[in-house]
Amino acid sequence: MTQLTVSDKARFDLTVVVLALLTMFGPLSIDMYLPAFGDIAASYSTESNRVELSLTSFFLGLFIGQLLYGTASDKWGRKPPLYFGLVIYIVSSLACAYAPNLESLIVLRFFQAIGSCAGLVIARAMVRDLYTPQASAQVFSFLILVMGIAPILAPLAGAYVTKAFGWQAIFVIVAALAVACMAIVHVRLPETRSFNGAVRMRRSLPIYWDVLKDRGFLRYSLAGGIAQSGLFAYITGSPLVFIDHFGLDPTHYSWLFGLNAIGIIGMAQFNAWLLRRRDARKILNKSLPVLALISLLTIVFASLNANFWLVLMIVFAYVSTLGMVFPNAMAGALAEQQERAGSASAVTGSLQFLIAGIISAVVNVVGHITPLGMLYVIGACGLTATLLYRVLRTPS
């Protein structure tokens, strides 16, 4: 298949919008129910921090589920595994709405994640199928733009839906959106990979191991994944920090959440503009040190027990900078993975969400030690990502 550059405007616009819709289900499933933590806790007569375990189980599902789709999409083509994942997502979302207890909700969230990550894996693989490495970095910037709609609108929608209809309606709504997306995929999304009988499902683990042994892949994937885990530290810890510690009501918290989403969207689009003039790797080489400096300040602010405005400012700076880091790191990770793009996409996604799941659990623990524990974790993520990017550099 001939790869496209971003000058192929019609194909770029149509295909990328559909791919972006597929990547929204993970963020939508995370962000939309955050303002409902209190209502979910009250519904099950438990504490809000126990509801956070449903977020941790979702991250675990994203880690495991992506490995299921990688080799399958390289063998069977991109669309059949995608349909399979969307069906799982629809069924498990509806089951979440009727979960009889918190333990059931935690388990069902795991399966909801298994379904949602089909879109994450296969959308990234299709980008690699269709676009050149430099163009793919621009596509990933566009995906962040569309994915950023979820953090802006989802918490607001979740807050109002919960107030009007109850938290269960959130899961019914995302199931309905998945049904609509499946119809759009069937009508509009082209198949970018034909059946390949040479790919053996039983060789999935050896293929994944070969991908992991690629030093260049590991460098970009770990740097991007660990940096992004700072965002998930914020997602997990922000209700505790802004609602419980600083006393924001859920609706105001939702607007604050959207503010940070605007930051990452803006920087991602600035990144797309830069990519027309600069190489993606050069941009990453400049943006990671900036992230490290912000991360250091984040730790300093936490140790000084910073006030609301300083915490808001430093978190906004970190999240916004990810718009420059993540698209270029993802493009770098997949650049040399032509024939195993699906497997490589699965591995990089699983690494990211394995790290995110660990970080989510760490934030849960640290948050009980200090109210601003989230900031320490965010800072550690940014510094670690920058350090690994330098350490894993291929010797010249």
Q: How do residues 146-160 score in pLDDT, each as one tens digit?
A: 666 666 678 778 888
Tokens of 242: 């802004």
pLDDT at position 93 is 97
Could you tell me the pTM of the whole model? 0.72
Looking at residue 312, its pLDDT comes to 92
Q: Would you give per-residue pLDDT tens digits along the chain (396 residues)?
A: 444 444 444 345 677 888 888 888 888 898 888 888 889 999 999 887 788 889 888 988 888 888 888 777 877 888 899 999 999 999 999 999 999 999 999 999 999 999 998 888 888 788 877 777 667 777 777 776 666 666 667 877 888 899 899 999 999 999 999 999 899 888 888 887 777 766 666 666 777 788 778 888 889 889 988 998 898 888 888 888 888 888 888 778 877 877 887 888 888 888 888 888 888 888 999 999 999 999 999 999 999 998 999 999 999 999 999 988 988 888 788 776 666 666 777 787 778 778 877 888 888 788 778 888 899 999 999 999 999 999 988 765
- pLDDT of the residue at 4: 45
Q: How far apart, in whole angstroms, are the C-alpha atoms of residue 326 and residue 234?
A: 16
Residue 384 makes CB contacts below 8 A (sequence gap 6+) with 226
**Dihedrals phi, psi of 372, to nearest 5 degrees:** -105, 25
Nearest CA to 66 out of 334, 350, 337, 340 is that of 350
Chain mean position to CA 308: 26
What pLDDT, on the 0 to 100 scale, is given for residue 6?
A: 46
Can you give the pLDDT at residue 144? 67
Tally of CA atoms within 13 A in the half-sphere of 214 that contains its CB: 20
Is the dihedral angle over the CA atoms 264, 266, 268, 270 positive or is it negative? negative
Residue 86's pLDDT is: 95
**CA 217/CA 336 separation, integer angstroms:** 8
Which residue bears the tokens 């640290």?
Answer: 366
176-180, Cβ contacts within 8 angstroms, sequence gap of 24 or more: 177/25, 177/28, 178/25, 178/86, 178/89, 178/90, 178/93, 178/115, 179/90
